[in-house]
């Protein structure tokens, strides 16, 4: 699936000291935009950084200084991070990379790449709170497998990003510590629950970032913040070190400013892990090996590619601007040679209630460990039950408490068959419907969200309206499929408009695939797409 996408060319890149080309970058808001001189990087920032370092055009220390300066400038406005790494430590890691290059020693493929990590993914050398008071100050004794793999390849962790508490939310307003703003318009949400990770890439505070996706928590923020977001197939990436919300749905996902960068990041963190029994033993291919630039392709490079537009995702309830952007993208695919047709998934609307029953049920079990004894900050009490009650009452926020109660109710005697068992049956139906659709189509497309980013506070007190915003994404998690979201246009809002994301869904473990022979010379299947839409 990654092989089907041409990386976008939009927004400015990272500011560099000394070697810069003038180009303005705006943190879009109703207030006066912040302007910064920036370097016009190549489509893949990771590959550009590596080329610059190895050719001695740029040092890792210079690059790191530039990102830290940008983070310091923008963070007071956006609030992406719950914890920022010690600058001296980060610069020391960068200096070590420069020293290796000077000695002509080999450096990892991610050397000098600054990565932000969602704060529900464990890191040994900095706090991991899950966005919750109950874990305030907690420092794990280990790195999550995904984090360890990044570090082993030379990546530098710049900090831990804000999130809805334990990943439960769609706006990042449910964090116990702060509210993150959307870099396109500071009065709007960045999406959730991985809003901090998406916003940090959008604001160029880091090169790439990791998030987690249980029901759309990578894809919806990617749409709201105008970046690329990738939810891999369930089992592609180890979940060891990811704080469990709903274990049968959770995956670690990737954010980047291009598809190439998300592909490189996914390749780095993928693969079997003996510490996670659900991780797949499938061979990990090179997700970027099939990328081809648009200039090398003929005028109709997608001749015969079968694309299914999910009918239920462009029906009533979708904002007209979002619908127009998706329909415009679909029309352009037809111009490039795709065979486009509408695909009906009658069970699509059933995914949302089934998801919230299953996710809440699993969360009520997973979060039972935070009792003030085994995990979590402990309240003072001489009586055990009171200790449990007060530790959880003070430690958990309202959204987490509500989902625990919903899940406990769904699993209780007398209601298990009516709710949890029936939701599992719906999940099976959804899996079968996606399989049938993907047997007849190479990819499926839909909006990533029914609207662009909404105002901070707009839906905080209306949980049902907030949950409805996940309708485009939850079915993919229930089916365990991979999905990619990337910018496809803008709608009115903010200073210059708000991004809209296109969701592209593939078959299981189809993040990379061998294309049919007729596409052998035209491997980048959406070439020219962004030149038209952005």
Burial grade of 346 (CB within 10 A; 0-12, 13-18, 19 or more): exposed
pLDDT exceeds cutoff 90 at 442: yes
Q: What pTM value is reported for the model?
A: 0.90
Q: What is the pLDDT of residue 251?
A: 98
**Mean pLDDT, residues 407-424 taken together:** 96
Look at residue 418 in the predicted model and tell me its pLDDT. 95
Q: What is the pLDDT of residue 148?
A: 98
HEC profile for 285-339? CCCCCCCCCHHHCCCCCCCCCEEEEEHHHCCCCCCHHHHHHHHHHHHHHHHCCCE
* Active site positions, annotated: 118, 193, 217
The Cβ of residue 505 has, within 10 Å, a number of other Cβ atoms equal to 25
Phi, psi of 251 (to 5 degrees): -140, 155
Predicted local distance difference test score (pLDDT) of residue 6? 37
Distance CA 324, CA 309 (A): 13
| Mean per-residue pLDDT, 30-40 | 30
**Is 12 a residue whose pLDDT tops 50?**
no
DSSP state of 418: I
- 3-state SS, residue 429: helix
Contact criterion met (CB below 8 Å) for 313 and 447: yes
Helix, strand, coil: what percent of the chain each, to 5? 40, 15, 50
- Structure tokens that stand for 477 in this block: 């998690």
Q: Which of 477, 492, 411, 486 is nearest to 447 (CA)?
A: 486
Q: What tokens appear for 258 in the block?
A: 């291009």
- Homologous superfamily (CATH) of 45-303+449-531 is Amidase signature (AS) domain (3.90.1300.10)
CA neighbor of 337 nearest in space, from 307, 294, 304:
304
For the chain, how big is the Rg over CA atoms in Å?
A: 22
Q: How far is CA 148 from the centre of its chain?
A: 19
- Residue 529: the pLDDT is 37
DSSP per-residue codes, 111-143: TT-EEEEETTB--TTS---TT-GGGTT---SS-
Neighbours of 20 (CB within 10 A): 15
What is the tens place of the pLDDT at every residue in 343-380? 999 999 999 999 999 999 999 999 999 999 988 999 99
What pLDDT, in 10s, does the model give residues 83-124?
999 999 999 999 999 999 999 999 999 999 999 999 999 999
CB atoms within 10 A of CB 101: 19
For the ranges 42-46, 60-64, 278-282, 336-340, the lowest mean pLDDT is seen at: 42-46
Q: Is the pLDDT of residue 517 over 60?
A: no
Question: How is the chain split into domains, by residue range?
Answer: 45-303+449-531
- pLDDT score for 374: 87
Count of beta carbons in the 10 Å neighbourhood of residue 432: 12
């Amino acid at each position: 699936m990654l092989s089907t996408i041409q990386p976008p060319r939009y927004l400015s890149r990272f500011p560099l000291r000394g070697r810069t080309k003038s180009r303005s970058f705006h943190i879009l808001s109703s207030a006066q935009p912040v302007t910064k001189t920036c370097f016009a990087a190549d489509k893949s920032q990771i590959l550009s950084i590596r080329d610059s370092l190895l050719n001695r055009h740029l040092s890792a220390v210079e690059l790191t200084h530039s990102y830290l300066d940008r983070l310091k400038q923008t963070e007071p406005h956006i609030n992406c991070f719950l914890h920022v790494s010690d600058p001296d430590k980060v610069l020391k890691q960068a200096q070590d990379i420069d020293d290796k290059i000077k000695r002509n020693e080999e450096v990892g493929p991610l050397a000098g790449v600054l990565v932000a990590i969602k704060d529900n993914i464990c890191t040994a050398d900095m706090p991991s709170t899950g966005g919750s008071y109950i874990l305030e100050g907690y420092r794990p004794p280990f790195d999550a497998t995904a984090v360890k793999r990044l570090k082993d390849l030379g990546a530098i962790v710049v900090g831990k990003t804000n999130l809805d508490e334990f990943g439960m939310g769609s706006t990042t307003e449910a964090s116990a510590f702060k509210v993150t703003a959307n870099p396109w318009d500071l009065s709007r949400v960045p999406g959730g629950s991985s809003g901090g990770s998406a916003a940090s890439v959008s604001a160029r505070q880091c090169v790439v970032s990791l998030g987690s996706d249980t029901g759309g928590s990578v894809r919806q923020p990617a749409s709201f913040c105008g970046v690329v977001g990738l939810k891999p197939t369930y089992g592609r990436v180890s979940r060891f070190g990811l704080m469990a919300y709903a274990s049968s749905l959770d995956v670690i996902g990737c954010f980047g400013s291009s598809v190439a960068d998300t592909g490189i990041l996914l390749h780095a963190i993928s693969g079997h892990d003996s510490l996670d029994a659900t991780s797949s033993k499938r061979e990990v291919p090179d997700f970027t090996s099939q990328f081809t630039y648009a200039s090398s392709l003929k005028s109709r490079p997608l001749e015969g590619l079968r694309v299914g537009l999910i009918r239920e995702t462009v029906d009533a309830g979708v904002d007209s601007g979002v619908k127009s952007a998706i329909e415009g993208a679909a029309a352009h695919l037809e111009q490039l040679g795709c065979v486009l047709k509408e695909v009906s998934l009658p069970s699509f609307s059933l995914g949302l209630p089934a998801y919230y029953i299953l996710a809440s049920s699993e969360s009520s079990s997973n979060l039972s460990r935070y009792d003030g004894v085994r995990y979590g900050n402990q309240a003072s009490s001489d009586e055990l039950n009171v200790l449990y009650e007060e530790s959880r009452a003070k430690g958990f926020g309202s959204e987490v408490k509500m989902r625990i109660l919903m899940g406990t109710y769904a699993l209780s005697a007398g209601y298990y068959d009516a709710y949890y068992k029936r939701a599992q049956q719906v999940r099976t139906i959804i899996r079968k419907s996606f399989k049938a659709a993907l047997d007849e189509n190479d990819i499926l497309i839909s909006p990533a969200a029914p609207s662009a980013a909404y105002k901070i506070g707009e839906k905080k007190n209306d949980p049902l309206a907030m949950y409805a915003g996940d309708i485009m994404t939850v079915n993919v998690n229930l089916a365990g499929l991979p999905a990619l979201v990337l910018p496809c246009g803008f709608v009115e809002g903010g200073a210059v408009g708000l991004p809209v994301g296109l969701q592209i869904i593939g078959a299981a473990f189809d993040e990379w695939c061998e294309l049919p022979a007729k596409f052998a010379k035209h491997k980048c299947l959406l070439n020219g797409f962004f030149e038209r839409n952005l």
